[in-house]
Amino acid sequence: MPERLLSHLPSRVTIYEVGPRDGLQNEVTPIPTDEKLTFANALADAGLTWIETTSFVNPKAVPQLADAGDVMRRLDRRPGVRYPVLVPNERGMERALETGIDAIALFAAASEAFSQANIRATIDESFDRFLPVIALAKQHDVWVRGYVSTAFHCPYSGPVDVVAAVAVAERLFEIGCGEVAIADTIGIATPTDTDAFLDAALARLPAERLALHLHDTNGLALANVMVGLDAGITIFDGSAGGLGGCPFAPGAPGNLATEALVTLLDGLGIETGVNADAVRSAAARIRQVIDNSS
């Protein structure tokens, strides 16, 4: 790597794949459970070791992932691959535990308006809901990630105060999250926004346990990844094929494509263990399934 180009970049980065969960949750036409399992297997074959597989939310809120129990019961868990699932409350955790999960992701928001729209609760209420979930996670030795949604911008109330977003991340660590993902839910953060957030966050939070979860509405996600790398972030979320969006966040069309992320990191000489072409093939197949279902 040319020395001039950020010589302090990390030598290895972890990619946390969210395609089967964030990528599919917004698709309206039902995708067969078998195809979801094939997708997860193809992503594991591509070298991804973190695959957020589904979501134990209210199935009426996200019908596409109503088969979460079946998906997790039938999943062919590959050695060395973790398959976290999204959990909003104790009910979701109980459902998830019945399927033998060993990793979950909780999600809080930095904006009250988005919290209400997404989970029908204030930010404080969402933390009240997390407490029994964390207790169960400890009891069952389950790894926990936390998300800070709308860390930069809320689709309902506009720009989000950096201090408020950092405070939510801090609270997630305090209740026991092992990792916290900072989410640009509607994908409009600029590199300057990311830099300002990380500047404030890294004064209080451990860089090695922070992830960036970037939607890519304006095509700036990879530029934000560069800012993250420069600040010492080594965990980045991607969604194969750039699939994704949140049904409760208007204007969030897609996530950062995993294959583009891998291509950038390959080009920088940063190891990921992921094969970009294999991710492209997995994405092409699920895209065909989606197109054929609609």
**Considering the complex, what minimum distance in angstroms separates the CB of residue 26 from Mg ion?**
9
Contact (Cβ atoms closer than 8 angstroms) between residue 22 and residue 62: no
Among 33, 41, 49, 61, binds ligand HMG (CB under 6 A): 61
**Is 22 one of the binding residues for ligand HMG (CB under 6 A)?**
yes
Name residue 77's amino acid.
R
**Is 22 one of the binding residues for Mg ion (CB under 5 A)?**
yes
Name residue 86's amino acid.
L
**Is 92 one of the binding residues for ligand HMG (CB under 6 A)?**
yes
> Per residue in 239-261, is it b (16+ CB within 10 Å) or e — as a string?
bbbbbbbbbbbeebbbbbbbbbb
Q: How far apart are CA 254 and CA 29, in angstroms?
A: 17
123 binds, among Mg ion, ligand HMG, none (CB under 5 to 8 A by kind): none
**Is 95 one of the binding residues for ligand HMG (CB under 6 A)?**
yes
Q: Which stretch binds Mg ion (CB under 5 A): 17-25, 103-111, 116-124, 259-267?
A: 17-25
**Is 234 one of the binding residues for ligand HMG (CB under 6 A)?**
no
User: Which residues on adjacent β-strands are paired with residue 17?
Assistant: 51, 238
What is the DSSP secondary structure assignment for residue 23, as one 8-state letter?
Answer: I
**Is 149 one of the binding residues for ligand HMG (CB under 6 A)?**
yes
Return left, alpha or beta for 183; rule: phi > 0 is left, psi -120 to 50 is alpha, else beta. Answer: beta
Q: Which stretch binds ligand HMG (CB under 6 A): 51-59, 72-80, 224-232, 267-275?
A: 51-59
- List binders of ligand HMG among 175-194 (CB under 6 A): 183, 185
Instruction: Clarify whether 246 is annotated catalytic.
Output: yes
**Is 58 one of the binding residues for ligand HMG (CB under 6 A)?**
yes
Number of chain residues interacting with ligand HMG (CB under 6 A): 27
- Active-site choice (212, 222, 246, 262): 246
Contact (Cβ atoms closer than 8 angstroms) between residue 105 and residue 145: yes
Q: How far apart are CA 281 and CA 278, in angstroms?
A: 5
62 binds, among Mg ion, ligand HMG, none (CB under 5 to 8 A by kind): ligand HMG
Among 53, 64, 89, 224, binds ligand HMG (CB under 6 A): 89
**Is 52 one of the binding residues for Mg ion (CB under 5 A)?**
no
- List binders of ligand HMG among 157-176 (CB under 6 A): none
**Is 67 one of the binding residues for Mg ion (CB under 5 A)?**
no
H helix runs in 26-151, sequence order: 33-45, 68-74, 90-97, 112-119, 123-139
Q: How far apart are CA 241 and CA 34, in angstroms?
A: 19
Q: Could you list the beta-strand ranges (E) of the chain.
A: 14-17, 50-51, 54-55, 85-86, 103-109, 143-149, 153-154, 158-159, 179-184, 210-214, 235-238
Interface residue list for ligand HMG (CB under 6 A):
22, 25, 55-59, 61-62, 86, 88-89, 91-92, 95, 107, 118-120, 147, 149, 183, 185, 213, 215, 246, 248
